[in-house]
Amino acid sequence: METIAGKNIIIGVTGGIAAYKTLILARLFINNEAILKVVMTKAAESFIGPLSFQAISGSKIGLDILDPVFDSGMDHIELARDADLIIIAPATANTIAKIAHGFSDNLLTSIILASTSPVMICPAMNNNMWANQATIDNINILKKRGVHVCGPAYGELACSDSGAGRMEEPEFIFEDSLRLLSENDFSDTRFLISAGPTQEPIDPVRYITNRSSGKMGYELARAARIRGAEVTLVSGPTNLPGPVGVEMINIRTAKEMSDAIKKKFTDCDICIMAAAVGDYRSQKQSEQKIKKDMDVLNINFEKNPDILLGLGKQKGDKFLVGFAAETQDLIKNATKKLFKKNLNMIVANDVSRTDAGFQTNTNQVHILTEKTAIKLPLMSKFRAAHGILNSIKAMRNE
């Protein structure tokens, strides 16, 4: 799923101080062209005015189950039927308890009871309330019923305590919700993805690396996770935050990447090596900082293991994808690697372009297999990631 445009989202706001952050969550859905309805409990109105949500969502806010204006256009049954996803953010201990036990004493709890839509709750409360056995039991009831629980995060709380109880940040909640809105065509599939550059140390303060930003591999991990997969991302040093819901393994050198990948390879169904693994490492690493005494400094480099080549030899029925970053003879060189490394697919991109390849947010890729060659147009790396996943899916279904 590349877009949530046209999806029907209901955000339920209950009475917690984090309610102000829900405005940002609402804006994220609107900016992504979802159709948003906001429902507030009485307690929520003590923290934030309905007008704020009305301004952002562009439609009247549902406040009362007996509200004649709101109910005239869409009663709670109709609202519940139309939703692709209902998110309660913040979800107080009180509302969590109510929905766990089937109460329907306000518009929000009535919608939840009447709905068969996916529900996501974002708890926000004092850490002791969160740790209370009553809340734990209620959360377990909801989880068993298929409700998705996002958070809470650990940190400073409004009541000046600190602990588990903070509502997750709006960007995190938004990202997490995408999985619930997607078709989940990769559920029960385990991905192992590598991303970013590697760093090969020369001395304690210097290293050799390359210009890879890691963006393509991170977007692949993100897209696979949104489509329902279980994803492990082995990443070299990048400036990117780990994608929501993805298991991160951070490494530095090619050797460390090789060790991490080997450990995880047996458990995966699909492995995508999008990392720009350093081909060479310094033969010796000086224990002390190298002084600038010499006019010419010679460093000998030795070859790193080719991780993907090794995986190709032991791949069995796993689906193996490589990347080929080339500056010349793109298709010819990539095709050579497809066969040499015994891959199911290779994604080729021309890294001499300024709008594709390293460090850009866009990419123009060729997806090559033994039998097919697809050229995707220039697009965001997220869309390119979906294109690659679509090709993998098509080939695995053959």
| Interacting residues toward ligand C5P by CB under 6 A | 254, 273, 275, 277, 279, 304, 306-308, 322-324, 337
Q: Which is nearer to ligand C5P, 224 or 254 (CB)?
A: 254
Q: Please provide the distance, in angstroms rounded to a whole number, between the alpha carbons at the two ends of the chain.
A: 21
- Quote the least distance from Cβ 58 to ligand C5P, whole Å: 45
Q: Which is nearer to ligand C5P, 36 or 308 (CB)?
A: 308
1: nearest Cα among 180, 182, 185, 222: 182
Give the whole-angstrom CA distance, residue 347 versus residue 345: 7
Type of residue at 145: R
**Hey, what's the torsion of the CAs at 57, 60, 63, 65, to 10 degrees?**
-130
Q: Which is nearer to ligand C5P, 28 or 338 (CB)?
A: 338
- Quote the least distance from Cβ 352 to ligand C5P, whole Å: 14
Q: Which is nearer to ligand C5P, 91 or 249 (CB)?
A: 249
Q: Does the active-site annotation cover 268?
A: no
- Quote the least distance from Cβ 169 to ligand C5P, whole Å: 32
Under 8 Å between Cβ of 198 and 253: yes
- Quote the least distance from Cβ 281 to ligand C5P, whole Å: 10
Q: Which is nearer to ligand C5P, 93 or 388 (CB)?
A: 388
Q: Which is nearer to ligand C5P, 186 or 323 (CB)?
A: 323
Give the whole-angstrom CA distance, residue 252 versus residue 280: 14
Question: Which residue among 122, 150, 159, 271 is the active-site one?
Answer: 159
- Quote the least distance from Cβ 392 to ligand C5P, whole Å: 14
Q: Which is nearer to ligand C5P, 18 or 273 (CB)?
A: 273
- Quote the least distance from Cβ 275 to ligand C5P, whole Å: 5
- Quote the least distance from Cβ 194 to ligand C5P, whole Å: 6
Q: Which residues are catalytic?
A: 159
